[in-house]
Structure 1
Amino acid sequence: MKTFNLFRKHPLILIAGIWTILVSALIAHEINHLHAETETTAITEAHTIFKKDLALRHWVASHGGVYVPIDATTPANKYLVHLPERDIQTPSAKNLTLMNPAYAMRQMHESYAKTYGVRGHITSLKLLRPENIADLWETRALQSFEQGKREVSELTDLSGKPFLRYMWAMITERPCLKCHQGYQVGDVRGGISVSIPMTDLLAKESRERLELLLSHGLIWLSGLLLIYFGGRRVMLSTEERNQANKELLRHKQHLEIKIRQRTAELTEANQKLEHISLTDGLTGIANRRHFDNLIAKEWSRAIREKTPITLIMIDIDYFKLFNDLYGHPEGDICLKTVAMALNAEMRRSTDFVARYGGEEFAAILPNTGGPGALVMAEKMRASIAKLEIEHKDSEINNYLTISLGAISVVPKKGSDFSHFIEQADKALYTAKTEGRNQARAFSPDGENA
């Protein structure tokens, strides 16, 4: 109870205590992480050395051993005396002896120990060479291999100095049977032990731990000063703070309402602007800009999905004569009527018609091949004929007609849709030169879109 009352009267003490606990926990976590990094670095180094050892072992084993000159440091291997060609002589009278994987690795371990202080050892519970007898730690590791484990590591002391000891199981392979009889492929034959000196790594860890304590101590002290001076500056009463919060909330809600309203207005305005920028002002259908954007997108999709795409170019026959006879206002009404009729034929959500320019229109039909293109073109031509818009100056009919040019392709990667549009224009030109009021498909004559 006394402690509780103390905290009520002096809440900064409670805050400072919590802050101290948090910083202490963070320091403990960072120290543990630092130690784990040191151990990971050593294990990584041990892994690297082991993989190098394993590569050498496999290389020597794959060649059935290697011959080296006999000298004081490399005598003939007495454990290979049963091999008929353990020792040979070159034509120049140089004496060579066969070195098996274990012999090669032992010499490499001795060289590593002298040069870098890294100790290596090959050992087994069933020794062929007494000098390879396992120490107590290696014996425990070998026994764990018999239980199914494949690697063991531990930080320990050797000769009064810290080392990371790492051992990996050696599994019998077919080339091993040449020297190691009594085993079968897949048996645990022993292990490769590597001892990494930790003196430098632990010294580095100690320096980093000191730096960590100093930096976090400074953070802790800064936090205490902030808590103290910040607490003293809290002079508003609870009622004043609540009133200020209510006022702030009222302003916040008012501002949020204004922001929502303004956002909605801007969204609506942007949508209108976007619609205006993509819509033909006279006919109300898509304009040339909208067409250019869409054909680029549909062309890319057709390439990606390997599907056909159709383009139909449409031109009102003798429209200039219509304007001259009936006047531009009637011409505008005619363009609107034709545009609405063509747009009504776009039955699928992906079909699209736009005013291309003047009295010319263009329709894009994704996933539509050649036969479907001509069927759609004929429907569009017929829909305009059904309107029976009078055109007394037409040279082919008493009513308004249209000519259409269609092209359908499955575009190839790297192709350009501008050539596609040119082909549709050529088909339209053919329809006009052959009498108008008809639809014609582009005949490539060997060309490919």
Structure 2
Amino acid sequence: MLDIKWIRENPQALDAALAKRGVEPASSRLIELDEKRRQHIAKLQEAQERRNAASKEIGKAMGAKDQATADRLKEEVAEIKLFLQSAEEEERQLDRALNDALSVLPNVPLESVPVGKDEAANVETRRVGALKNFAFEPKEHFEIGEKLGYMDFERAAKLSGSRFTVLKSQLARLERALGQFMLDLHTTEHGYTEVSPPLLVNDDVLYGTGQLPKFAEDLFQTSDGRYLIPTAEVPLTNLVREEILDIRDLPIRMTALTACFRSEAGSAGRDTRGMLRQHQFMKVELVSITDAERSIEEHVRMTACAEEVLKRLDLSFRTMTLCTGDMGFGAQKTYDLEVWLPGQKAYREISSCSVCGDFQARRMNARYRPEGEKSTRFVHTLNGSGVAVGRALIAVVENYQNEDGSVTVPDALVPYMGGLKRIEKAA
């Protein structure tokens, strides 16, 4: 959530930032709501002060045996109390109106973010690894997986409908191996603490990271009002909600391997074949909680940690700086990692690493106290995929496929596969 004080002081900057993201100007409407709220609060405070003063005057009048004055003051206090009851409810309504208006506004992009309408304006930052040469026409992952007999979309549809997959045998083990490999890398070499969070969360938690209220249609909600997490970013980031942290404990770096659930609203007709766009998928998430001075540096570091996964797997990828029109709702700046899929002959997103500034922290009321200061500041939050396990499986299957339909296991994963070096169809 954006700071209304900053908006009052920088209305043109807000509208210019929103324009970069394709959003209509909002400063005048927000300032009007805030001014109405501030004026009402001033009246409320004035009434409270008069009530307190009149209450003291009643005591003086009673002490002076001036009953008439005391009675008049008592009537005045009673009237003020009635006003305050309705005025306090009106204050809550005005607060709610302002918060509702602020809660649907996206974050302000950093100056270094390229301006553009959609993914066509994203900027390639770097490209790593040579594309693999094949002596045959490479197939897509679902063709390979189905032919091996280890990737079953038909039975998954019987169980759950479209956009689900059943993995079996050696491909199921490959998925598990990828997740364990990523967790070990991030915890032993990159300094992240492994966390096993709940997969069901309440609406306050989703509000804190910005999924609610704007993106409710993307979520799966249970009958008791809880939600399946769309990513482990949600519970991990909210672990510091409503807390005041010591700056000496920052940055806090966490990672988790969880199932993730997304309705994929609005994606009808896109990536309908295979595992690229699923309602349920596994992902290793990276989350950092830090202070304002180190968040940009932490963003670069987090992106490098995600890139290292792809380097260890010897997968060709490119790092893209997303433009203003393609960034996520809560991001100030985002780097996407896109891995090369030879079956599709295209780069596809496998990780997205974002710095959010204090946007989420304001919604969560998560703060830190700088050393030697009594006042607090909002923390800065970051999140990234380290990386999407299902898409990593796709990339491994397509890049390590052999002409006979088998798949070579990358060297980094052989220990996690019990020494297995080749995935082959069962005899």
TM-score (norm 1): 0.19
TM-score (norm 2): 0.20
Taking CA–CA contacts closer than 8 Å with sequence separation of 6 or more, which of the two structures ends up with the larger relative contact order?
A: 2
Higher alpha-carbon Rg? 1
Bigger fraction of residues in helix: 1
